Amino acid sequence: MNALEQLRQFTTVVADTGDFNAMRAYAPRDATTNPTLIVKAVAKPEYASLLAETVSRHRGESVAELIDRLLVRFGCEILSIVPGRVSTEVDARLSFDQAGTVERAHRLIGLYEQAGIDRSRVMIKIAATWEGIRAAERLEAEGIHCNLTLIFAFAQAVACADAGVTLISPFVGRIMDWYRKRDGREFAAHDDPGVLSVRRIFEYYKHFGHATEVMGASFRNAGQILALAGCDLLTISPELLEQLRQSAAPVERQLDAEAARAQVLERVRFDEKDFRFAVNDDAMASEKLAEGIRLFAVDSAKLDDLIAAQVARA
């Protein structure tokens, strides 16, 4: 077996792309999207029609409503390819707006259900701010599954598990980027700060029996991926999926739930003030969380502009 096939023995593989052809090629169980991936996809001739058709069918609706329809259109197409779930992201500009996040999530789920998609196949993707976690807690209580993204701090992961969210996405590569810049050196997989962060979260969750799934994300190389074999899920770009498919390197389980349960770990909890201090006290986490929200917000604005331009042409 190639490395990708071996990895699938231990971990659920998720496609980190908006490219339908890539999904068909690598046959992931689930797929994740975000405004960045959608902007890249609609720039390709084979997907531009989805944008035009969405605007044409729903003339007179606001740009925000059209964006949600486009995101759901992509999600429905993805769900016709993958057997599992799709993550659809709430606008990052709502990252500090609990009520606005809940409202947008309700609208997205409503559109999916209008399209005949059961809510069990959809995860609402939300930035793991305090407000985002509280919104997700409410949504989960309503049977709406959530994927909490931009996880950089351990406090974020603990708060998400205590809120009962379905899944979290720790950003392996972006964590490593910060430490590489600070320390001026490269990291091997065994001491990669992003890998170690996911390992710590995974072991904490399994030790204390949290049902929240851990999905490593934002990989820079195949070594990071293989160092997390055994993680619940890993979301991987098409480029790295291809590298794994072309590799014959042996893959062994690196994360083990049974071993985690046997460890001696201290349970921790974070109220709002403790959470905010813990994230602020972690320079990497506070900087990368703020940067991640800004970058996603920029791409949300690009999507606004694409929709507005299409409306003007229609």
Task: For residue 249, give the 3-state DSSP assignment.
Answer: coil
DSSP state of 185: S
Q: What distance in Å separates the CA atoms of residue 103 and residue 35, rounded to the nearest whole number?
A: 18
Q: What distance in Å separates the CA atoms of residue 117 and residue 132, rounded to the nearest whole number?
A: 24
Q: Is 125 noted as a catalytic residue in this protein?
A: yes
Tokens 């807690």 -> residue: 137
190 CB-near residues (< 8 Å, 6+ apart): 227
Out of 40, 44, 125, 206, the active site residue is: 125
Task: For residue 215, give the 3-state DSSP assignment.
Answer: strand
152 CB-near residues (< 8 Å, 6+ apart): 170, 171, 174, 175, 197, 282, 284, 285, 288, 289, 292
| Positions marked active-site | 125
